[in-house]
Amino acid sequence: MSPRALALILALAIAAACEPADPVPEPAAAAAETPGLQSFIFFNRDRERISEPGFLENEGVAGAHLKYTWRELEPERDRYELDPILADLAYLEGRGKRLFIQLQEVSFDERINVPDYLVEDPEFSGGVARQYEWERSDDSDATFDGWVPRRWDPAVRERFARLLEALSRELDGRIEGINLPETAVGFGESGALYPEGYTPEGYFEGITSLMTYARDAFPLSTVIVYANFMPGEALPEEDRGFLRGVYEHAEASGVGVGGPDLLPHRRGQQTHSLPLIRARAPRVTAGLAVQWGNLADVNPDTGLPVTVEELYGFARDSLRLDYIFWGVQEPFYSDDVLPFLEALPSDSL
């Protein structure tokens, strides 16, 4: 069985087991087409792949979206190691491609993506906290789901601000943009798993502060926050204003918005980030990533997995996106993404 056939069978099985969510309501007036929707390839941390001919020679691809961790960029306190970024940037610049950075400080496995000193120095109260997945409201079935920096802790945020300042001195105006990782984090519902000093209100304050730091550090390059979900609320039933507040702060501070998944048929996205992205002011930049599993997601209207053309059209016409960050999951990347982007008319780039 081919990889494509297997992906189709898995997608159809998932669709049969899940009740399709209601479609995202369209605005009353049709949104104007966004000129210059740009496609970047999200290579994640496989940064050596920027030398691949399929990427470099594709005229529909504006550049590479690459991930760098706080831990690798600041191996010791106040010692910043930016050579990996500068080398990648120089390589891309020399070949007519641009660089968009994802600055990663959260993980979804056992890896800790912050420097050791944050974990070891009592000043930072451990530096990171465990996050969880759960189903039951009492958190009795919670399982470990990675590490997140103490974004609500001013001492930790101040160190992140210094990292941003160090990056900006070398990169502002040279890179296309920089994005902060997703705002979603899991500490359960009962409060029993809350880390020391954490509250949903404090977390909201931390996220908005980080957005301000990033915009101040990068006045020339694009800044995007992956604002997909916020802890302490579940829209639309439980709306405490946290996610809406992030989007309001983005508009006020000049930060762009987006998220790690372009999933137009998922109820979670339909009730959280997608309507907020669609309703943003014209001056607010937006970008979404097509990451692992997105192109196997099923369109309930057709019963088939979504296509690259569908996602591109939704991003351009319904959401008015400025950026799409295409992942490299096979067989979609080679068979669908790259040929589609190569065939785009030049006036749509």
Q: Are 49 and 328 in contact (CB under 8 A)?
A: yes
At residue 36 the predicted structure's pLDDT band, cuts being 50, 70 and 90, is: confident
Q: Sort 120 into a burial class: Cβ within 10 Å, 0-12 / 13-18 / 19+.
A: exposed
pLDDT digits (tens, 9 = 90+) for 306-340: 999 999 999 999 999 999 999 999 999 999 999 99
Length of the chain: 349
pLDDT digits (tens, 9 = 90+) for 228-244: 999 999 999 999 999 99
- The answer to whether residue 1 sits within a structural domain is no
* Residue 1 predicted with pLDDT over 90: no
pLDDT of residue 348: 62
- The answer to whether residue 4 sits within a structural domain is no
* Alpha-carbon dihedral angle through residues 105, 111, 114, 115, given to the nearest 10 degrees: -160
- The answer to whether residue 17 sits within a structural domain is no
The rounded distance, in Å, linking the Cα atoms of 344 and 349 is: 7
Amino acid letter for position 183: T
pLDDT of residue 24: 39
Give the H/E segment covering residue 42. Answer: strand 38-44
The CA distances from residue 157 to 118, 182, 320, in Å, are 11, 16, 32
Q: Are 232 and 242 in contact (CB under 8 A)?
A: yes
Residue 69 dihedral angles phi and psi, to the nearest 5°: -95, 150
Residue 70 dihedral angles phi and psi, to the nearest 5°: -55, -40
Q: Are 335 and 341 in contact (CB under 8 A)?
A: no
- The answer to whether residue 347 sits within a structural domain is no
The rounded distance, in Å, linking the Cα atoms of 251 and 40 is: 23
Averaged over 72-97, what is the pLDDT? 98
Q: Provide CB contacts within 8 A for 231, sequence distance 6+.
A: 184, 185, 186, 187, 200, 203, 242
For the chain, the straight-line distance linking the first and the last C-alpha, in angstroms and rounded, comes to 36
- The answer to whether residue 24 sits within a structural domain is no
pLDDT of residue 220: 98
Where residue 148 sits, what CATH number does that domain have?
3.20.20.80
Query: Which residue range(s) make up the domain with 304?
Result: 34-342
Domain count, the chain: 1
The rounded distance, in Å, linking the Cα atoms of 282 and 31 is: 10
Task: Outline where the chain has alpha helix (H).
Answer: 3-17, 53-56, 70-73, 83-93, 116-120, 154-171, 200-217, 242-253, 267-271, 273-278, 308-313, 332, 338-343
pTM, two decimal places:
0.89
At residue 32 the predicted structure's pLDDT band, cuts being 50, 70 and 90, is: very low
The rounded distance, in Å, linking the Cα atoms of 191 and 200 is: 10
Residue 135 carries which DSSP code?
S
Instruction: Kindly provide the b/e burial profile for residues 133-145, where b requires at least 16 CB atoms within 10 angstroms of the residue's own CB.
Output: ebeeeebeebeeb
- The answer to whether residue 62 sits within a structural domain is yes
pLDDT of residue 349: 60
Query: Taking the CA of residue 22 as centre, how many other CA atoms within 13 Å lie in the half-sphere pointing to its CB?
Result: 5
Least-confidence region, from 14-23, 31-40, 116-125, 266-275: 14-23
At residue 346 the predicted structure's pLDDT band, cuts being 50, 70 and 90, is: confident
- The answer to whether residue 103 sits within a structural domain is yes
Strands 286-290 and 323-326: parallel
State the chain's mean pLDDT as an integer: 91
Q: What percent of the chain has pLDDT over 90?
A: 88
pLDDT digits (tens, 9 = 90+) for 277-289: 999 999 999 999 9
pLDDT digits (tens, 9 = 90+) for 170-219: 999 999 999 999 999 999 999 999 999 999 999 999 999 999 999 999 99
Count of CB atoms within 10 A of residue 254's CB?
16
- The answer to whether residue 9 sits within a structural domain is no
